[in-house]
Amino acid sequence: MKTMSAPASEFRSSDPRQLKERWKQWLSDKRLNTTTQREAIVDQFFRTHDHISIDELLARVRKRHQRVGYATVYRTLKLLVESGLAIERQFGDGQARFEVAGEHHDHLICTKCGLILEFEDDEIERLQEKIAQRLGGFTVVRHRHELYALCPKAAGLDDRCPNERT
């Protein structure tokens, strides 16, 4: 599954060093130890710019650290989610995917090829707030907006998918 993105929760940093410092601080605060394998997983994850599955992350990490196991990747991702540095997503393909936590963004997902596009739209955000108010004075504190669609190729409108253009 490939991700293309427009600018993407509260501390989005594309700098792996800043993310790593936050990770080290969180581990210290929780009095958790780390291992070489765990750090290799974290380093690879912070360099990832797409929505990655456990299997995909495992394959990337194993290119340099062949002995890393599935359970280690799974547990490390769960810790990253608990720390607030990662977000677990489900995009309808039956597989959990993870992304580095950052600024709020929404997703457009092709149900055929699996392309995931990240986007932000101020008009959609304003409309959601307006609807919440209209339906009883609610204040939106968080949301997930996922659009499931067919890319132009899957819909038969073009001979190439945006996934193939990158």
Give 96: exposed, middle or buried? Use CB within 10 Å, 0-12, 13-18, 19+. Answer: middle
From-to residues of CATH 1.10.10.10 in the chain: 3-100
State the fold for domain 3-100: Arc Repressor Mutant, subunit A (1.10.10)
Q: How far apart are CA 106 and CA 145, in angstroms?
A: 5
Q: How far apart are CA 60 and CA 44, in angstroms?
A: 7
Q: How far apart are CA 62 and CA 105, in angstroms?
A: 30
HSE-CB at 133 with a 13 A cutoff on CA atoms is 6
The pLDDT tens digits along the chain (166 residues) read 444 433 333 344 567 788 899 999 999 999 998 899 999 999 999 998 888 999 999 999 999 999 999 999 999 999 999 999 998 988 877 889 898 887 778 889 898 888 888 888 889 989 999 999 999 999 988 887 888 999 999 888 888 888 776 5
Q: What is the pTM of this model?
A: 0.68
* CATH code matching the domain that covers 106-164, chosen among 3.30.1490.190, 3.90.1720.10, 2.60.40.420, 3.40.50.2020: 3.30.1490.190
Instruction: List the one residue out of 77, 88, 155, 59 whose CA is nearest residue 115.
Output: 155
Q: How far apart are CA 15 and CA 49, in angstroms?
A: 11
Total residues found in the chain within this entry: 166
